[in-house]
Amino acid sequence: MADLKVLSGLGVGLNSVIGDVFRVLPHATLPPRAKSTNAGAETEALREAIASVAGELATLGHRADGASAEIFEALTYLLEDEELFELAESNISSGWNAASAYAMAVDEFGELLGGDPTFAERVADLQDLSKRVQSKIAGIELLLNLPTSGSLILVGEDFSPADTAQFTEAIKGVITSKGGPTSHTSIICRSRNIPAVVSCAQADELEDGDSVLVDPVGDRVVIGGTLSDATAAIEFVAMSAEPIIAVRSNIGTLADAELAAATKAEGVGLFRTELLYLSERKAPSVEQQTEHYSKVLAAAPTGPIVVRTIDAGSDKPVPFLSMGEEENPALGVRGYRLIVEHRSFIESQLVSLEGARQATGREVWVMAPMISTVQEAADFCELAKSIGKFKVGIMVETPSISAMIGDLKGIVDFVSVGTNDLSQYLFAADRMNPALGALLTPWQPALIRTLARIAADGKAAGISVGVCGESASDPTFAIVLAGLGVTSVSASPSQVNVVAKALSSLNLVEAKAIADLALSATSAEESKASVLAALAG
């Protein structure tokens, strides 16, 4: 082992694999944006390219299995979006050629979705589509044509949704030089149980045919390594039928609710309502909202459904709730702070949710995002209780409210910790900045100690404490959360079952001992390594 070369990155998965490197080179570069004087011919070329891409997607979708087939469906849906085509047409009328006009239209469309990791998949879908249509016009081949036999480790910059849908049985592991813990490659590899190391800057050094060990638990790739060099794998064996704390699902759309219903999720821990409004130019009516919420509530897994009122602003721009230019939008008027200017819209959401609750007979809990003070929490809870028969609560995403949990006694029924934003504000580190990933990992002891305090103060005040940030989708971290005293976790639908299995593999006393290891660490590396070693041992 001493002489073997080790490349570090961010591991995705719980066990290691060895295989031969199969490099996927970046596709040929697309031609630069250019103008054209023949608008008629450009519109025709765009129509033809879109039709041809639609044909390809249909063929790929036909061959693909469940989750992958959905990717192609989503791409086809976007491809057929009339608003997108009209945007492209208007760019052609302004003198751009077909490929440029389409690329610009997709960019404009994508801006509406913002750069939030929550929407990263949809933005990635759009960019993938843009590349497909532009490549078709430029005559560039995008199919990966991967081998179907052997034990291969796929190496590339990053993989798009359509790329990952083409992975064959031969792909046993994945290494990417770019991408991060929330990139599409990570999400897909985690849900399909393909060990991966992403954000591995030195991946470019790997050559076709090199034998490598992909060791996600150790956050590394070992060139020439064997399984005996691997960090001990983590395997969860369910010891009881039920997880030690409730495992719920995060959803944003009706499709998510349906996916979640097919898992072991005990209800929904976070329904992100803003996904409904991202491309709306005016506020939907109470009738439209009630109809939409009723469908989602009816489809959601059995159990309570925790709905978050709109979290617009900053990384989640909603056109009809725009707050205009802000110097520092992450610290600006976002989430519940919109109540000052947009009270009637938040009220309309609550009225619609009460209508949907009555129509479906489901148990609905409502919570507000970005709460900073006890007064804000009290105002929201009073408002929500005056409108519907909900359990009411708030998200804990700011350090300020995390210090006041005991004072929420008698005001809220529950809190739900959004570790994505709590990390951002605790560490003063922009969650959108890939250079700050090391500060934003949930394994940071300052976050873990803050979570311990929230859980303890919640327990003392009789307030249940859930966690719905991305950290709860990592089964090893979910164990730490349970050990800290968190009473429920909520994970993305693809992670619910593995998180539930991890939380059925030990008892609360054992989870507490694991959490104590993380609590006593003074660095993220130490907390992760000590917990993973204990779980592997």
In the complex, the residues that contact ligand PEP under the rule CB under 6 A are 118, 270, 272, 311, 397, 418-421, 468-469
Q: Which does 469 bind (CB under 5 to 8 A by kind): Mg ion, ligand PEP, none?
A: ligand PEP
Is residue 468 annotated as part of the catalytic site, yes or no? yes
Instruction: Check the CA dihedral 435-436-442-445 and report its sign.
Output: positive
Q: Read out DSSP for 384-409?
A: HHHH-S-EEEEEE-SHHHHTTGGGGT
- Single out the residue of 43, 218, 64, 227 nearest to residue 144, CA to CA: 64
Burial (0-12, 13-18, 19+ Cβ within 10 Å), 172: middle
Tell me: does residue 163 bind Mg ion (CB under 5 A). no
Structure tokens at 388: 């519907």
114 is an interface residue for Mg ion by CB under 5 A: no
**Which residues neighbour 94 within 8 Å (Cβ) at sequence distance 6 or greater?**
none
In sequence order, which ranges of 300-442 are alpha helices (DSSP H)?
A: 339-360, 374-387, 399-402, 419-426, 437-440
Least separation, in Å, of the C-beta of 276 and ligand PEP? 14
Q: Work out how close the CB of 398 gets to ligand PEP at its nearest, in angstroms, rounded to a whole number.
A: 10
Residue 9 interacts with, from Mg ion, ligand PEP, none (CB under 5-8 Å by kind)? none
- Residue 8: beta bridge partners? 220
**Smaller CB separation from Mg ion, 421 or 474:** 421
Choose between 330 and 351: whose C-beta lies nearer to Mg ion: 330
Select from ligand PEP, Mg ion, none the partner in contact with residue 376, using the beta carbon and a kind-dependent cut-off of 5 to 8 Å. Answer: none
Closest approach of ligand PEP to the CB of residue 371, in Å: 12
Task: Give min distance, CB of 469 to ligand PEP, in A.
Answer: 3
Q: Could you say which of 184, 189, 342, 381 is catalytic?
A: 184
- Beta carbon of residue 193, minimum distance to ligand PEP (angstroms, whole number): 24
Q: In the complex with Mg ion, which residue's Cβ is closer, 265 or 395?
A: 395
Cβ contacts of residue 254 below 8 Å, gap of 6+? Answer: 292, 295, 296, 299
- Select 270 or 333, whichever has its Cβ closest to ligand PEP: 270
Q: Find which of Mg ion, ligand PEP, none residue 468 binds, CB within 5 to 8 Å per kind.
A: ligand PEP
Least separation in angstroms between CB 272 and ligand PEP:
5
Distance CA 373, CA 336 (A): 11
What is the enclosing helix (H) or strand (E) of 297?
A: helix 286-299
Specify whether 381 is catalytic.
Answer: no
Please give the helix or strand (H or E) that residue 34 lies within, else none. Answer: none
Task: Count the helix, strand and coil residues of the chain and give each as a percent rounded to the nearest 5.
Answer: 50, 15, 35
> Which string of b and e fits 375-402 if b means at least 16 CB within 10 Å?
ebbbbbbebbeebbebbbbbbbbbeebb
SS3 per residue for 441-493:
CCCCHHHHHHHHHHHHHHHHHCCEEEECCHHHHCHHHHHHHHHHCCCEEEECH
By CB under 5 A, what part of segment 395-424 binds Mg ion? 397, 418, 421
- Say whether residue 274 binds Mg ion (CB under 5 A): no
Binders of Mg ion among 359-388, rule CB under 5 A? none
Which residue, 360 or 495, has its beta carbon nearer to ligand PEP? Answer: 495
Residue 268 binds which one of ligand PEP, Mg ion, none, with CB within 5 to 8 A depending on kind? none
From Mg ion, ligand PEP, none, which one binds at residue 118 (CB under 5 to 8 Å depending on kind)? ligand PEP
Nearer to ligand PEP, 19 or 418 (CB): 418
Write out the residues near Mg ion by the rule CB under 5 A: 397, 418, 421
Residues catalogued as catalytic: 184, 468
